[in-house]
Structure formats: structure tokens, C-alpha cells
A and B are shown apart, each in its own frame.
Chain A
Amino acid sequence: MIHSLFMINSAGDIFMEKHWKSVISRSVCDYFFEEQQKANSPEDVNPVISTPHHYLIHIYRENIYFVAVCTTEVPPLFVIEFLHRVVDTFTDYFGDGGESAIKDNYVIVYELLEEMLDNGFPLATESNILKELIKPPNILRTVVNTVTGSSNLADTLPTGQLSNVPWRRAGVKYTNNEAYFDVIEEIDAIIDKQGSTVFADIQGVIDCCVKLSGMPDLTLSFMNPRILDDVSFHPCVRFKRWEAERVLSFVPPDGNFRLISYHVGSQNMVAIPVYVKPNISFREGGGRFDVTVGPKQTMGKMVESVVITCAMPKVVLNMNLTPTQGTYTFDPVAKVLTWDVGKINPQKLPNLRGNISLQSGSPPPESNPAISVQFKIQQMAVSGLKVNRLDMYGEVSKSSPKKSFTFEKYKPFKGVKYLTKAGNFQVRT
């Protein structure tokens, strides 16, 4: 399946290579570089490149190209999904998956890659399992390891790999048992010039941080599960139960994980929490810029962390603006205007206005740039999704062979947080 992996940084250096079968010369990457040359931006390189003998499938993340080399027919998504899983694992281990993190931890990286693929076929990709095989680095352990000479590798077996709950490690023990659920919804929208919605939908996820001892079995139910009609689940969720009762029943992995992600389609009405009133005009040599932001349907909640970005046309030389609140920056190289608004006060609407100066001699741009908006609203899920209750069925543990089963009773701390933010929120002007 996957023959080799090359990691290429933005400077075009192949800084790491790994081969799972026989060695493929790194010159195969020349084909990739060729494609890269043609592309205007790093994202534009076609993810699947066909060369005479190999097929290069790559992803671009954290400013690194992860180029997988395949020699035979393989579903491209299989490779792409796997590569993303690799980067996710790096991020999970090192805090970020960037080049320096990979270089700093190259031994762990190599061990991880060795463990994740066998002969090009995925072997262990669950982070819970990998963490048992190879301990993630942390400063304390690094110190301890240098002093004692002990290793990062676990010498016990990862039991999860061998059980029917392959995503959870066994023998989890916490003094404080807690389970947090973050319901995060992102609004993707395109708003046209007149302020009407061209397209809007909601992408939601429930991210969990579950730190519970033993083997807990959780059930999460919703007040209005009907909203969730397009859902994808973490493998731990029992699909049958969801189908029948619309409750999420699962044995969670240990630690952080994404329980479900869902999509609320454009068929449902989506409440747009902010509006942007742009007024941009160009004329010979300059132009006017005037943008006002205001809250729309916020259900009484405060709209926070509002950031407005606008990629101005290339002919714009500079902008001279005055905000009524927040700060603005204009990057004259990338021609990007960023206005950090902060909270929106409904009584006093934030406004940014001023002059645009264009390159002399060049004609004014024909079209106005699109504005993209970022915002956050705490304690609200815009789809209206509400968690009803979380039940936990205690855990069964083997404590002594005589009385082989006892119930470990503990009262976990449970918490649910809602957050709505802008995803791909674009206002056309």
C-alpha cells in the first residue's frame, strides 16, 4: 500500500524519509517538485501525482508536505486519511506537528511510523494504543530518562490492541474522575452584498476530555436528537443503539477525542448571529472603506473575539483607517486587512472607515473583495442542540481472583460546554 514516506519542508528539503518496503530513491520527489513549481500556492499542488513508476500522494499540513509513495492501485483516500492520522498523532505527541517538533523528536517519530504501518498497511493508529507502546515525551520524563537511562518504550503490552475495545487502554486510574464535553458548532455561510444569506450550514463536533478510571460505559442523551441527522461517529459509539434510541452509548477512549461530528444542512434555517455592512468603493487612485459589524440573532449572548479579515486587491497600496473599537493591521505585502474587533457592544456598533490608496496609474479594481468574519459565542449552540444527561455505568475491575469482580464506584465530575463560532463565514461585497 504505502511504500515510502518523505517529509519535505517549505524550503524544499527532504528532511526525513521512511521506507516500509524496499528503499525508493528520494529522486522520486523530483516529480513532486515539478508539480510544486507549477502551483501558485502550496495548497494548490494536486494531491495525487502520477509518475511513470510510482504514484505520489501527499498532504500539506503544518507547512510540510508529507509525500507518500505508492506503487500499485490503492484508494487515494486511504493514503490521505492515513497521512492525516500520522500528523494528528504527531500533534498529539509533541503539541504541534511542525518541522521543528518532528526534528526534535525524530526517534519517537521514527518509532511511531514504524508502529503505525507494517509493510505499508496500517497497524496501530489509535492514539491510546500508540501511547502505550511509545510514551509521549515530556520534560519530566526526559530528565528522568537521562538520569536513569530508562527508555520511552513501554515494556508491557498494550492491552487495548488485543481486546474488543481497541481504542481504550486498560488499567486507567485517576484520582479525580472527570468527563467534559464541548459542543462546538461552526457556522459556514456565504452572505451576499444585500445581507441575505446565500448559503449557510452548521458543522458541529462534540469533543470530549474523559478521564475516568477503569472501563466506564457512558450514555449521552440529547434534548433534541432530531437535529443530528447527518453524523459521523468515533468507532467507540454503538451505532445500533443510536439508530434505535438516538442516544450515544460508548466506552470512551482515555483522554481527548472527538466523539461525533455532525452537519446540520442548509435545509434547516440557520440563525446568523452577526451582520456586516460593508461599503467599499474604488475610484482612480484611491477608494473608500467603511465597514460596520453588528449582532443579529444572538439569543441574548455576547458575540466575542470578532475578527474581520479582508484580502484586498493587489493594486491596493495602503489603507488609512480609523476603528471605533479594536485594532486593525494592513499587511502591504499580502494585501490583507485584519481588524480585531473584540466584543460587539449592541449599543455602540463597531465601525472601521477610512481611505484606500491604490498604486498610481493602475486602473481601480472591478470587484470588491470578500470579507471573512471570525467570532465566538460562548454557551450557545446555534443549532439548538442540548445535552440532556450523561449516565455512567460503573466499571468492572478484576481486583482479587477470589471475588473476581467488584464495582468501582466513583462519582465523576461531568461538564458540558457549548460554543458557537464562525467557520467559513464569508461576506461578499
Chain B
Amino acid sequence: MSNGGGSYNAQNDSRAGSTGEPDLGTEPTGGFFSADYKKHDDLKQMLDSNKDNLKLEAMKRIVGMVAKGKDASDLFAAVVKNVVSKNIEVKKLVYVYLVRYAEEQQDLALLSIATFQRALKDPNQLIRASALRVLSSIRVPVIVPIMMLALKDSVVDMSPYVRKTAAHAIPKLYSLDPEQKDQLIQVIEKLLADKTTLVVGSAVMAFEELCPDRVDLIHKNYRKLCNLLVDVEEWGQVVIINMLTRYARTQFLDPNQQDVIADEDKNFYGDEDEKDSEEEEEDEEKEKTPPKKPYMMDPDHRLLLRNTKPLLQSRNAAVVMAVAQLYHHIAPKSEVGLVAKALVRLLRSHREIQHVVLSNVATLTTIRKVRGMFEPYLKSFFVRPSDPIHVRTLKLEILTNLATETSISTILREFQTYVTSSDKDFVAATIQAIGRCASSISEVTETCLNGLVGLLSNRNEYVVAESVVVIKKLLQMQPDSHSEIIQHMAKLADTITVPMARASILWMVGEYSDRVPKIAPDLLRKMAKNFINEEDIVKLQILNLAAKLCITNPKQTKLLCQYVLNLAKYDQNYDIRDRARFIRQLVSPAGEKGALGKHAKKIFLASKPAPVLDSSFKDRDQWQLGSLSHMINQQASGYSPLPDFPAAAPDPTVRNVEVNPWEQVPMPWAEKTHKKKAGKPKKEAFYSDEEEESESESDSEESSSSSSESGSESESEDDSKSESGSDKDKKSDEEAESSSSSSSESESSSESESDSESESEPDTKPQKKAPPPKTKSSTKPKKEAKQEVSLLDLDDIDVSSTSAPVPAPASALDVLSPSLASDLQGLSINDKTDTAISVTTPMFVSTTSHELLHRMTGEGLSANYRFTRGTCIYSTSMVPVELTFTNHTDSPVSNIRIGDKKLQAGMTLQEFPEIPSLPGGGSMSVSIGIDFKDTIQPANFQICTQDRKYNVSIKPPVGELFQAVTMAEADFTAQQSKLTGMNENSGKVSIPSQHNNSKTITARMSELANVAPVPSSQDGIYRFAGKTVSGGTLLLITVKVGEDNSASITVNCELMAICSMLVKEVKQKLSLA
């Protein structure tokens, strides 16, 4: 990469200081390229060359330009051509470029679309995923329909990775065309039902971006999300937890409502919230006519809290914070304490994380009831010299909030050391903090005041000034018996220059002039002398002081006051002029004593309420903890406030998941309770939902849900572990749910609610009266079992025993043993096909066999193979092949078996059981299965006998890669319309007149390929359908016979190679005389 680096730096040097301007070509420097035009020509040439090296180099330099934020858009045409490049790295860089510039050059960008469409069908899941990613990232509105199609296909892709990418594509598509929202929500619904941990996080992310208010989509998936949560990747966890917090706020009762009622001393939520909660309380009281029903936590609520708790130990600060806010917002107050430890742990992390965590802790500590949880960690908030200023201030804030009678001495001692710091701002903040401690804890007010007075003799002026301001506030609270402090401060007025402090002193002297009757007039005199040089804020206070003294002590100060007022009259600042005019009218009216003048004393010397020194984080608890809005203390765009808990719990049964959709009876409560979903049929069961196909909109699959599940498992080529893992989850889920649902079903529907409540008891209040023993025993162990499973991420490794793990049973999924296969044969339905399309028996089975091993080469042993066109007994993705061995010698051949296999990547071959012995002259048939992966690549392998090995190869005719399927004509045309463009191939042929009849054409077609005719309503149009054995890709053949014996053949299939080959073969076959 060093060569690439060179060019980046070269550009950097030559363009230094001229960022952002496109026409920099005139700059004289530049080692490698001097002018822009020339440079781009040079790059274009490199891109047009046929050497990957040069292309790569050019792309690297272009990406360098993109990275620097330079305009490289004029290269678009040259770059976009290379999207077809075979070199992965070139391709990737082209993608980077495309995503950056496609928006600006929409027409040219369209040229690349075909490539992505093709890549979307690639067998490699990574290529499919990256194609979808880039396609959806190109912000060109024209392609919205194409994106939509690609998205819908990808949502049902077998690879979870592709499905994850599809989830990411949803918000992109939405931002491009918001009108697609309804369709996209349907897609999200499908993705939410996904059980793969890889997918759910992204699905919820899409949900949050598009339709965070569609709570109804979550109900069915709620328990699954809770159970999967631990295993989801970190970023998904954050999103899911945030979503579930909101969900819980809408669906569960406030776990703290009891406290609110019980709490007599009130002030629970702080002043503002108190009103709300009281109102709430009243409302509740009104609504709940059977009053004081003891609160019981919904088991689902408990489930959420229980399953998020371990995440407090995540290494990811965002996850910890998410859990903390979840606990803060929805957990009973007694349990919130858990999060303190985790939050404090985060304080060791990077400074930015500290900052965010501290500001959240600061908010928490303003809430009196939860403050206690941080007290044990008081010392963790001590300031260190290395902390940046914003962290220090936050720590001070927290320390101040945490100060109590017991801890105040520690905190004050700590503050003392902070005051000596060299950072002025920090010292000022510390003094403020001391002031707040003093005002909130009356025991220490005196101590603090003395300490602050001590600071007045500090050499640092800022310290003194800040102390003055704080002392002023404190004195205001208890002005008695502090005249010496006031005197002391009045003296300071000579030396101190900080305006705020001067203003404070003046105010104080004026306010308490009766305590310092001798000093006050003198101070005014001094100030009057220097009036014109003072700051505005000081001038205002001088006016105030003058007015107050004039009222209390007119003898000495009347003239001074006049003087000051006159000075102020001509001041530059209109505020001061106004004030002067106002005061003049009150204090020394020109004419007879004004009506107001009588009350001047009351006006100026009314007793003023002491200021309340409150935390600046006081009002921040209106925001959701951990949110951006909380951080900046203003509403960020896209922030939706957390809803309040509902007064009455919505029906908890909406979260029940039906396990047996086919046994399902319409339950009365289900319709009654769920308002939003009322219109929808209750049919959307959990499992059938997941397996639902994109193409078939009808949910007619209920009966096949279990079978298609097993089908998808055997199909999945990727890791069997995740399948088995999720499978176990599924099963335990099933168990748990079936137990609860069966119990509720057995009882009458009205009782089901109370039943579920009694279930919650063992969780929430185990010491309380014993619930009905039946429910307890049936639910509890199962719950435990369920949790256990969900937390073990590698189920197939036996963790509890120390012995070596048992080979995973999942191995059986890939290739089934023959005995099992026959049992499962009926069950496995390929999930790629539509429900309307079903595999049928072949129309024609050829009896001709092909030679595999000639008897000369085989030294007397010959082998033939034949495609039986049935369903392979080993695996549904295999083409069954019958091998017939014949022994042409006299002596028996023993141990006939398959030896080494040299298969193409991805292909698999299931061998036959070894033939122990084949007698002389005898023959024997065995069957093998080959998964050709839908290519006509030959399968090469060896046939071994006891002492010899023969290399043989089976090359499938293209027609044998299919399975005949039946479908309705309408389906056929619908499917055909989806497979246009690159996926369609056609040709013309003339059919000999004697063969131009339906019978021959059908026969010949079924001879050629394993397809089944589709009933046709039109004469002269013959349709045949099949699907590939391995991938399940549809194949549609249409033969249109014209009048003059000419026929046009159309073949539609996603596999383009097969398409063209078939057209050729059909032509040959039909034109046979």
C-alpha cells in the first residue's frame, strides 16, 4: 500500500491550503501530475487500459481524491465502466466511487444497475449482499422499483447476512421515496419475525427509523427479542433496548405507582413531576373503581428486566448506558441501584465516554430517590488533575448533588484541594459548588461561609471575586449576625476589579446598609468618584446603592445620590439612563412627593427571597436518559419523548405467540383487546409469518409451517450451528408457550387474564401467598430452562461436562442418511418455491443410459448411468443418478465403491453403499445423488474396486438439472413477468409439420428436460415449468407455434447460462424430423 500512500501524500502536498476548490489546476507544484485536466486524462487512460494493475492504481488515486473531499465527478463515465471488472478490489473501489457520485450523475449511474441485478442472483451470499448494499446506496430515484424488487427478494434470502443487508436497505429506500412506506413496513414485519441474531438488530433499526409508533408489530416478537437480546451484536442491542424501553412504557404499568401512593412526604419526582404523578394517581383512582389492587409486574416486563441485566457487563459503553436508561425508566426504583456500579465502571473509559456518562449521572443524582445509589461510589467522582475541564465540572456537579450530612465533610475537604488548582474556571466552579453545598445542607453553612471568607484573602482575584458572589448568595439566606463579613467585603471593594464581584458587594452593602451604617455612605462616595469608569453592571448597582441609602440615610447621602443620578442621566447605556430616571422619580421627585415616593422604602427594601441554588441538571430529567437530546438539553430532531406509563395495562395477551396455528381457534379476547390490529385477521401466526414467501401474498401456509421449517434447515448451506442454536431456542419457546397457552385454553377465556397474573407472582413476590400450586410448578422450571438456553451461545458444545463435545447432530442436516431421508421426504419443501408451485412426478423418464465406464477400460467391469428424474433420497438438492455395474468377467469383482472425488466448489456427491461383491456376469444398480449446484460442470470421481481405480465423470445434460413442477397458468405468467430482461432468452425454429402437434411437442419437451406442462388456455402456446434441483430456481419455457410451422421459444430462468443452453437444445429437439 506504500505506493498508494505516496500518491495520497503527494496530492496532499500539492493541494495544501486549497481544499474544496475544484479548479486548482493552476497550482505550480505537484510532483506526479501538474494540471487537473491532464491528471484526469491520465487517470482515464489508466481506467481504460486492460491491465488490472493500472485500473487499480487509478481507482486508488480517485478514492484518494474522494477521501480528500475533492471533486472527481468528471471521471464518472470512465469509472462506471469498470463496475464489471473481475478484479474484486477494483470493483470495490468502483463501488465506493459510485455510492459517492451516483446522485450527481444519475443517467450514467443507471448503466451500472444491470451489473448489480445480476450480482443479486449470485450464489455467493457476500456478492449478493454487497450488490444489494451498493444498489440501495445509489441515491437515484428512478431505480426505486428495482430496489423494491431486490429488497423483497433479499428479505427471504437464505443467507442471514443478505437479510441483514436488506434490513439496512430499508431506511435508504425510504429516504429516497417516502411513498413506499407501507410496502416497506410489510418488509420490516417480515424481518422482525426473523430469528437470526444477526438480522434482528438491523430489523429493529429499520423499524425505529421508519415506523417507531407501530407498536403492534412488536407484540408478537417481544418475547423473542428479549430472549435473543444477549446474543445480538452490540450495536443491535443498543437499538433494541431503546426500542423496548419505549415499548415497555406503553404496554406495562408503572412499577413505582405503589411508591407514589405510599410516599407521604411527596417530593418524589421533584416539584414538577409531582403534580403529574398526582394527577395520574387521581386518574388511576377514578378509573380503578375496585381500588388499591396490588401492583403485580407483568411477567413480560420482568422478562425484559431480567434479560437486560447481564448486558450491564458489556464492554460496550453504549450498551451499558442503554440498559441503565432502561432500568431508570421502567424498573421499580428498588432495582435501579444495580446500574450504578456499571456506570461508575465506565468512568475509567475514554474521556468522551466519561463526559457522556457523567452528564447522565449528574441528571440521575438530581433525582432525590435514586441519588442514594451513587453514594458508595462518591470517591470515584473525585477530580483528577488530568481530567479535561468539562469532565471536571461534571464531577463537581455530581459531588455537589451527592453531598449529604454524612458525606459533606469528605466532599468539602476535597473541594479545598480543588480551590488551590491553577485552573481559574475550575476554581470558580468549585466555589460555586461549595456555595451550593452550603445552601442545601444547613449544618455546614457556617463552615462553608467561614471557608469562603477565608478565600477572600486569596491572592487570586478570580477566586476572591467568585467567593464574593457566592457569599452574597449565602448571606441572603441568613443575613443576621454576619455584619463583620459584610464589613470585610465592603473593604474589598477598593481592591477587587471583577465587575460581577463589585456589583455583588454593592448590592449587599445596599441591602444590609443598616448593619454597616458607617461604611455604606463612604462606599457610595468612593463609587461615585469612579462612576464613569465602571462597568454597566456595577453602575446599575451603584444606582441601587445610592437609592437605598438615600431612603434609609438621606442626611448623609442625599447629595451623593443626586450626583450619581446626574452622572447616570448622561450615560451611554440607555438601561442606566432609564434606571436613573426611574430612581429619581421614586427617591427625589421633582415636584410634590409622588404617590410612589411614599412607598419607595417598601419598593427598594422589601425583603427578597433567597436565591435557590439548584443543579443545572435539574430540568434534564425530562429527556430520555442517554439520548442526544439529553446531552444537549434541547430537543434533537427525531427525538420522541418517552410516553408515560398507561394508567391501565393494555392486554398482555397480545404478546402470546400461537404455537399451533392450525389448531388455532378464534379467541374472543384476542379481538377485543388489540385495537390497532383489530382489522387484521388473527391468522398471522408466528411461524408461518416467518416462512411466508414474498411472492405469494396469501398466507396459505399454515399447515406446512413445520415442514417448511425443516426444509429450510436442510437447505441452509451455511453454518449448522446457528440453526441448531436457534432451533433449540425455538423449541424451548414452544414449550414454554404451549404450556401457558394450553392452560389458558383449557380454562374459559375470561379466566385467562387472571391466570397470567398469577403466573407473575413467583417472579415478583416469592414470599407472598402461594399461588395455585399447579401453575407454579408448571411454569417455573420451564422459564428457567428457557433462559438458560438463550444465554448459551454455543449450544452444540457441551459446556457442563468436561468431556470432549459430542459431534453436533447438526451434521445430519446437510446430507441425510438414506433411512432418515425417506422419512423426511414428504416433509421437505423447498422454501424458494411458491406455495402454488409444487413438485410433480416427471412426465417422462428416459430408459437410455449413458456410459460411465467402458468394459475395456474397466477391465471387465462396466458402468452405466441414468438420470431417474425422481426425488433424490439423500437430499432434495441432489440430482438422483442410477448407476448400473455389470461384471463381464467370470470372476467376481469385490468392494466396488466410490473413491476420491474431484468436484467443483460447492458440489456434493452422496456415494452409494459399498458393493461387497459382484459375481461374474451379474449386474447391479445403485443410486447416488449429486448436487450439481445448477451448473453443467461434470462431476469427476473415481470408482474403486478392490485393487483398481478408474477415473470417471458424469456430465449432466442441462435438462436433468430440473425438477418438474406444476403450476397454474396465471402463476406462470406472473412469474414470467418477473423474469424478464437478462433472464429471458428466446429463439425461433421451424417445426416439421408432421410433428407440429401438442402431443409430440409435449413429449419432446419432457424428454429434453424434466419439466411439466402447464395447462394452457390458448391454442398454439405450450408452457412448461420446472425448477432447478439444487437452487430451486424457476424455469419457464414457452413454445409459441405460429401458422407456418414456425415456433418461437422463450425460456425464462434466473440462471442465464442455462437459459441460453436450453434455448439451443429446445431448437434442436423440436426441429428434428
Chain A residues in the interface with B (C-beta under 8 A) = 1, 13-19, 21-23, 26, 39-41, 43-44, 46-48, 50, 55, 58-61, 70-78, 80-82, 84, 103-111, 114, 118-119, 121-123, 125, 137, 142, 146, 149, 151-153, 155, 157-159, 161-166, 188, 190, 192, 198-199, 201, 203, 217, 230-235, 238-241, 243, 249, 251, 258, 261, 263, 265-267, 311, 313-314, 363, 365-367, 370, 372, 391, 393-394, 396, 401, 404-405, 407, 424, 426, 428
Contact = CB atoms under 8 A, between A and B. Distances in A.
Contacts of A58: 352
Interface string B71-102: 00000000000000001110011011000100
Contacts of B238: 75, 78
Contact of B807 (A155, A166, A235, A404): A404
Contacts of B386: 372, 424
A78 B235 contact: yes
Contacts of B103: 22-23
Interface string B774-810: 0000000000000010011110010100101101100
A149 B807 contact: no
B67 A110 contact: yes
Contacts of B317: 77, 80-81
Contact of B321 (A39, A73, A77): A77
Given A239-B230, A396-B808, A74 B628 contact: yes
B4 A146 contact: no
A198 B411 CA distance: 11
B53 interface: yes
A258 to B, nearest CB: 7
22 contacts: A15-B68, A17-B69, A23-B103, A46-B355, A50-B632, A72-B638, A77-B321, A80-B352, A84-B352, A106-B64, A108-B1, A114-B95, A146-B3, A149-B53, A159-B718, A161-B198, A162-B125, A162-B719, A217-B799, A263-B348, A396-B805, A396-B808
Contacts of A122: 233, 235
Interface in B596-647: 626-629, 631-632, 634, 636-640
A55 B628 contact: yes
Interface in B568-606: none
B917 interface: no
Contacts of A149: 52-53, 56
Main secondary structure of the interface of B (DSSP, over half): helix
Given A165-B794, A217-B805, A73 B638 contact: yes
| Pairs A-B, 4 closest by C-beta atoms | A72-B638, A367-B420, A151-B89, A104-B5
A232 B350 contact: no
Interface stretch (B105-113, B160-168, B538-546, B961-969): B160-168
B168 A267 contact: no
Given A110-B96, A251-B794, A47 B356 contact: yes
Nearest to A133: B126
A119 B137 contact: yes
Contacts of B169: 119
Interface stretch (B375-383, B686-694, B863-871): B375-383
Given A16-B68, A162-B718, A239-B230, A107 B4 contact: yes
Interface string B1-13: 1111100110010
B352 A313 contact: no
A44 B100 CA distance: 33
Contact of A17 (B4, B67, B133, B342): B67
B627 A119 contact: no
Contacts of A41: 388
B628 A234 contact: no
Interface residues of B, number: 130
A405 B124 CA distance: 25
Nearest to A18: B67
A313 to B, nearest CB: 6
Interface in B137-186: 137, 139, 159-161, 164-165, 168-169, 171-172, 175
B90 to A, nearest CB: 8
A75 B322 contact: yes
A70 B627 CA distance: 13
Interface stretch (B307-315, B498-506, B656-664, B921-929): B307-315
Contacts, number: 313
Contacts of A50: 632, 634, 636
Given A41-B388, A76-B356, A106 B5 contact: yes
B719 A71 contact: no
A50 B320 CA distance: 24
B351 interface: yes
Given A192-B417, A365-B422, 7 more contacts: A26-B20, A77-B317, A80-B352, A137-B1, A201-B380, A313-B422, A372-B386
Contacts of B205: 1, 121
Contact of A394 (B69, B310, B804): B804
Contacts of B626: 75-77
B233 A59 contact: no
A276 B198 CA distance: 53
Nearest to A165: B794
A146 B2 CA distance: 10
Given A81-B317, A233-B313, A157 B124 contact: yes
Contacts of B636: 50, 55, 72-73
A106 B424 CA distance: 42
B895 interface: no
Interface in B336-362: 341-342, 344-345, 348, 350-353, 355-357
B627 A151 contact: no
B918 interface: no
Contacts of B318: 75, 77-78, 80-82
B1 A15 contact: no
Given A15-B68, A75-B238, A231 B313 contact: yes
B950 to A, nearest CB: 20
Contacts of A81: 316-318, 353
Nearest to B725: A164
B233 A391 contact: no
Contacts of B1057: none
Given A48-B631, A267-B376, A164 B807 contact: no
B999 interface: no
B133 A80 contact: no
Nearest to A241: B799
A17 B811 CA distance: 47
Nearest to B353: A80
B719 A164 contact: yes
A195 B634 CA distance: 46
Contacts of B5: 103-106
Contact of A153 (B64, B89, B310, B811): B89
Nearest to A154: B88
Interface in B186-234: 197-198, 202, 205, 230-231, 233-234
B815 A401 contact: yes
Contacts of A192: 417
A55 B3 CA distance: 36
Nearest to A314: B422
Contacts of A163: 718-719, 721-722
Interface string B396-431: 000000000000000000100100111000000000
Nearest to B2: A142
Nearest to A70: B628
Contacts of A151: 56, 87-89
Given A50-B632, A239-B310, A232 B315 contact: yes
B326 to A, nearest CB: 12
B233 A159 contact: no
A366 B458 contact: yes
Contact of A73 (B136, B202, B628): B628
A123 B92 contact: no
A41 B139 CA distance: 40
A198 B88 contact: no
B982 interface: no
B336 to A, nearest CB: 17
A75 B791 contact: no
